[in-house]
Structure 1
């Protein structure tokens, strides 16, 4: 932005005397260039490179549970037996979920 150094400058008193209407008008002018855009609609239009995974197959090797492990019936994570907090029948609850 070009600056005219020959133009008279306002003193601090003159700057503080700017009317509320002028300040509101300046703020409105700054915001007038913005466009309201729906974020969800904009996100749906983006296509990421390599995002088409329809031809991919997921290969997972399932490891059997060890004798000193259990699956929490609340969070469904596998924990060591030392993390067992409650045992209600066949429901095993880990320490994290018990509190």
Structure 2
């Protein structure tokens, strides 16, 4: 089947140009939902504001002391395994070196 690419194309919107303003506004109102998404409201409550009073909160993270095969980087102050050591004299990790 041969196709004439120079011919003007006809789409559905071109065929239905005779719709009135009342029909368009009625269709728009039907497509909009007045319901509020409750999930968005619940997630907003989980965020803490800066400067909030956290005196009643308790830590839930278990702190493990530094092991014998670990070191503290003198640049970023993170605890790394000895395999990440870049400079033994200055105790700098590979990320900071």
Q: Write 1 or 2 for the structure with the bigger share of helix.
A: 1
TM-score (norm 1): 0.41
